[in-house]
Structure 1
Amino acid sequence: MKRKFLVSIFVIISLLAVFLLYRNTTLFDKNTDLSDLEFAGLSIHSDDKQVAHDYPDFYMTKKGKFKDYYYEDENYFVVSSDKSTKKVVYIENNQLIKELNLKTNKNIGIGSTKEEVISEYGDKYKKMSSDKYGKVMLYTDKNKHINLAFSLNDKEKVSVVVVYDYKTYDYQW
């Protein structure tokens, strides 16, 4: 009886470990080439001087190891750079801002359909569910360490775009 209990506990812990590994790693993700990816004219690993140049009206804060640039509110459109390398490591947009062209260089942004995303980026994405954003399509470039995520609303339209260097920036879904 005691042996069955221990085996059951071991199996449960093993399954939990596999689930957490799957959820928190890119090991099982399909690879998508995102080497030419730009969002709002910015790219991951580009110099953070480009943010100040392209968006001079952005506010800037320094938190921990990152420098954050944002438009009007820290929740709408945010760009973060690593203070030590001065490279952009994170870009997020979750609000339609008419004054700014907040789209990828493949013309995908808030309001784009799931079909448009697949047409431009392919079907090699990981389906995720997030407490923060709901249904998410996650594209991974394993060579450049870039994740590109599109959150979809109930109408299967993009409601949030997130791009980040998953080796440097620990994005919390």
Structure 2
Amino acid sequence: MKKYIVIVISLILCFALGLWLYTYCTTPDNDLSQESLGDVSVNQPFKEIGNDFEIDPKIQLEGKSFYHAKDSKGLVIRKDNKHDRITAIVLFKDNHVYTSRDITIGSAKQEVIDAYGDTYKKSILPKQQTQFHYKDKEDHVGMKFIFKGDKVTRIELFEE
């Protein structure tokens, strides 16, 4: 009986490892090492941009703080409190903030593909939205563009 349990557990672990390896190998790789939203980038020390942002008391998560830009309510950052660095940036509503490759809210899908390439993972989201997920495996950075129709409605840059 013990022998069968060990075999079943081993098969489950092999299957899980194979599934993870398949997902990792089939996700396209992109260079996002120099990527930013406005003047903010992932892993940047918070003290470099702290004066331009104010804490958002509505969002609370243990070990993290969320801030929105003083001059743009559509730009939100997540800070790791322990290391005092930025771990995620989200842009919505504000079309005056651009990625480092000149994409903003309202940009067309084709503009995103021209700037970032066609090596993304596409997902279908609720409310007739689609998502392009670009991933930099070497630097552990991800970037998502959410579209409603043909236009960008949200941009996320985050550590993975």
- For the criterion TM > 0.5, the same-fold answer is yes
Query: In the alignment, which residue of structure 2 is the partner of 1:59?
Result: 55
Cα 1:120–1:29, aligned 2, differ >3 Å: closer, same or farther? same
| Alignment partners' CA distance in 1, 2:134 and 2:128 | 16
Deviations 1:105-127 (A, max 9, x none): 11101011111111111111000
Q: Does 1:94 align with 2:92?
A: yes
| Alignment partners' CA distance in 1, 2:30 and 2:88 | 18
Q: Does 1:108 align with 2:100?
A: no
Q: Does 1:130 align with 2:125?
A: yes
| Alignment partners' CA distance in 1, 2:128 and 2:55 | 25
- 1:42–1:50 Cα contact (<8 Å) kept: no
Deviation at residue 27 of structure 1 after TM alignment:
4.7
Flag as ranges the 4+ runs of structure 1 deviating above 2 A.
25-28, 58-63, 130-134
- 1:92–1:161 Cα contact (<8 Å) kept: yes
Q: Name structure 2 gaps, 5 residues minimum.
A: 1-11
Query: In the alignment, which residue of structure 2 is the partner of 1:160?
Result: 154
Deviation at residue 131 of structure 1 after TM alignment:
3.3
One-letter amino acid of the counterpart of residue 110, structure 1: I
| Alignment partners' CA distance in 2, 1:69 and 1:27 | 35
Deviation at residue 28 of structure 1 after TM alignment:
2.7
Query: In the alignment, which residue of structure 1 is the partner of 2:136?
Result: 141
Which one of 17, 38, 50 corresponds to residue 48 of structure 2?
Answer: 50
- TM-score w.r.t. the length of structure 2 is 0.76
Cα 1:65–1:135, aligned 2, differ >3 Å: closer, same or farther? same
Cα 1:70–1:133, aligned 2, differ >3 Å: closer, same or farther? farther
Which one of 75, 78, 84 corresponds to residue 76 of structure 2?
Answer: 78
- TM-score w.r.t. the length of structure 1 is 0.70
Deviation at residue 132 of structure 1 after TM alignment:
7.5
Query: In the alignment, which residue of structure 1 is the partner of 2:145?
Result: 150
| Alignment partners' CA distance in 2, 1:94 and 1:127 | 19
Q: Name structure 1 gaps, 5 residues minimum.
A: 1-13, 167-173
- 2:144–2:156 Cα contact (<8 Å) kept: yes
| Alignment partners' CA distance in 1, 2:146 and 2:25 | 21
SS of 2:49's equivalent? helix
Percent sequence identity is 24
CA RMSD of aligned residues (A): 2.5
Counting matched residue pairs gives 139
One-letter amino acid of the counterpart of residue 84, structure 1: K
